[in-house]
Amino acid sequence: YLTTLKKSPAASQIGDFNDSNTLLNLNMPDIKQKITTGFESGIEKSPLPQKAKDATKKQFLEDQSAYTDKVVNAFSGSLNRIFIVSTIAMAIAAALVFSLKERKLKTASPTDMPD
């Protein structure tokens, strides 16, 4: 999908394909629609036979769908790992807190001042 987009003359308007923000923005519905519309109009203007045009469109849409799945799964997978690590860290912290012993407070009279 990205390789196909990079071949387009309009790809320079999209941004840097090595930037994660650009890669995430490619998955936004309005951007996807503009890319799909531009691709389809470019294919229709090409001198390819209709069968080849249809196959190219189908392949492009499959690649676009696969890219969307990769982005969504990568994001949710990374969040899953973050929550697992956070849960383990919280369990360790809770065990450490409960293992601390309380210190007895010194008795003081109302006239004593802290040092």
Is there a domain that residue 19 lies in? yes
47-67 pLDDT tens trace:
889 999 999 999 999 999 998
68-111 pLDDT tens trace:
888 888 888 888 889 999 999 999 999 999 999 888 887 777 77
Question: What Cα–Cα distance (Å) separates residue 66 from each residue in 3, 21, 27?
Answer: 13, 18, 11
Is there a domain that residue 99 lies in? no
Is there a domain that residue 26 lies in? yes
Is there a domain that residue 27 lies in? yes
Residue ranges making up the domain that contains 80:
2-86
Is there a domain that residue 70 lies in? yes
Count of domains observed in the chain: 1
Is there a domain that residue 38 lies in? yes
Task: Report pTM.
Answer: 0.58
Is there a domain that residue 91 lies in? no
Is there a domain that residue 104 lies in? no
The predicted structure's pLDDT at residue 111: 79
Report which secondary-structure segment, H or E, holds 54. Answer: helix 50-99
Q: What is the Cα–Cα distance from 110 to 84, expressed in whole angstroms?
A: 49
